[in-house]
A and B are shown apart, each in its own frame.
Chain A
Amino acid sequence: MTLKHTPLYERHVAAGGRMVDFGGWEMPVQYRSPVEEHHAVRRDAGIFDVSHMGRFRVEGPQAGEFLDSLVPNNVLGLVNGKLLYTQICTPDGGILDDLIIGRWSATEYGIVVNAARLDHDREWILSHIGAFDCRLTDESTQTGMIAIQGPAALARLAPFTTEKLVEMKPFRQVRTTLFGHAVALSTTGYTGEKGCEVIAPNDVIKVIWDKLTEAGFPPIGLAARDSLRLEKGFCLYGSDIDESTTPIEAGLAWTVKPNGRPFIGDRVVLSQLESGPSRMLVGFILEGKGIPRHGYGVFAGDELLAPATSGGYSPTLDKGVGMAYVPIELAAEGTSLAIDIRGRRVPIRIARRPMV
């Protein structure tokens, strides 16, 4: 199988990025030490190529009603220039993907979905349009996307745009210029830091990457992207959430905003929202030495509860951290459990998400 390349592939190679197969995409796992890259984003700023993610546009008089019928969050509650985080679900409430929807106008919405779910999501969304008066355009291959993240990101970017970036609140989007080029800019990201994500046509995104590099933003690879999101307790599709988990179980009840209209999966999701789930995705911090990894068993005494859905090293805490689904009665912050690390039981403490 030929690996897919983003428009920025040549730049990653030239910058010394270590390229790996990431779900069929040849992407940089790191340019230098992943821990240094992680700290750069927590303490200052860095840039990520996220062009492998899927970008759709839904347009038409009923675009809002249509999207609202697909997801548990309140798309009809969006005003122009605002975005929301949500999921698409099966009729049983299982998560098919998590995604971001942004409203440009009453007749135009943008959607960003996970790279590995791009084809699935496009077909799934198309198959549900039915009589809704709207159409979907997949802009993934014509455009690229860069995330600019970190406490210093917006201030350092501000001189290069006419938009008052520093004043932008999270989950807002604008069409503006960056380095003189037209872009779509949203104050979103996957690091838990301030910052934004920029979408532009492929030839423009290359120029913007070069300008960002010249402006001193270091490129950040997938390894740091994962440790940054894990410390913040953000779900990774395919690991922490999938078809066998619901938004409520995943701790995403804050994104379920019933507005009186039906949505796919509403029976299960709303019932769990009301009566509470029987298990919950929690964060945990290792109390002993070692690094928890995806799949390691989480135990209460001798009872195996579930495999950890995510695990790794937290550079901020200098400790192992992870996430797992545990019975609701064991989900309280501070609960002591254990994780099996190659036959050794290491104590863990349930922690509030985000863990840092």
Chain B
Amino acid sequence: MYPDELKYTASHEWIEVAGDEARVGISDYAQHQLSDIVYVELPEVGRKVKKGEAVAVVESSKMAADCYSPLSGEIIAVNESLEESPELINTSPYGDGWLFRIRMSNPDEVGQLLDAGKYQSTLDEEH
């Protein structure tokens, strides 16, 4: 459910770090809570964002949820296939359902992200 090679935030984003770049999506827990995802609003490529800034909106049939950038930096790519197939987030939250890629301006922030075990325990505390 929560792959060990990824990092997580308490607001349910996941982060795959590779050098000074990172790929970001929402966790299996988040997609399950939202259920049928029917629309995704993605940031513009080139946008400079700060850690914690709302950058995307993931909407299910039930609600709209903000997605926050887990790191500071520049958006360098977004998952354009979500425009036609937002349900990829439900079917493949860690794969084809990724949201955006970011080039980090402050790689030290990676140290503040949660590992899979810590993320799992924040979920356990919520319930």
Contact = CB atoms under 8 A, between A and B. Distances in A.
A35 interface: yes
The secondary-structure label for the interface of chain B is strand
B99 interface: no
B61 interface: yes
Main secondary structure of the interface of A (DSSP, over half): mixed
Contact of B64 (A227, A293, A318): A293
B38 interface: yes
B39 to A, nearest CB: 5
A342 B39 contact: no
Interface string A17-59: 0000000000001100111101000000000000000000000
A223 interface: yes
Interface in B39-78: 39, 41, 57, 59-62, 64
B64 A312 contact: no
A38 B61 CA distance: 10
A227 B41 contact: no
Contacts of A313: 36, 38-39, 59-61
A29 B38 contact: no
Most B-side CB within 10 Å, residue of A33, A36, A291, A293:
A291
Given A33-B35, A290-B41, A315 B64 contact: no
A115 to B, nearest CB: 19
A169 B64 CA distance: 39
Interface in B58-107: 59-62, 64, 83
Interface in B17-34: none
Contacts of B61: 34-35, 38, 223, 227, 312-313, 315
Contacts of B59: 290-291, 313
B57 A30 contact: no
A289 interface: yes
Interface string A220-255: 000100010000000000000000000000000000
Nearest to A34: B61
Interface string A97-121: 0000000000000000000000000
Contacts of B83: 289
B62 A290 contact: no
Nearest to A342: B57
Contact of A223 (B41, B62, B64): B62
B1 to A, nearest CB: 17
A101 B48 CA distance: 59
Contacts of A315: 61
A274 to B, nearest CB: 41
A35 B60 CA distance: 10
Contacts of A38: 61
Interface of B: 35-36, 38-39, 41, 57, 59-62, 64, 83
8 nearest CB pairs, A to B: A35-B36, A313-B61, A313-B38, A291-B59, A34-B61, A223-B62, A33-B36, A291-B39
Given A29-B62, A33-B35, A34-B35, 18 more contacts: A30-B35, A34-B60, A34-B61, A34-B62, A35-B36, A35-B38, A223-B35, A223-B62, A290-B39, A290-B59, A291-B59, A293-B64, A313-B36, A313-B38, A313-B39, A313-B61, A315-B61, A318-B38
7 contacts: A35-B36, A35-B61, A223-B62, A289-B83, A291-B64, A315-B61, A342-B41
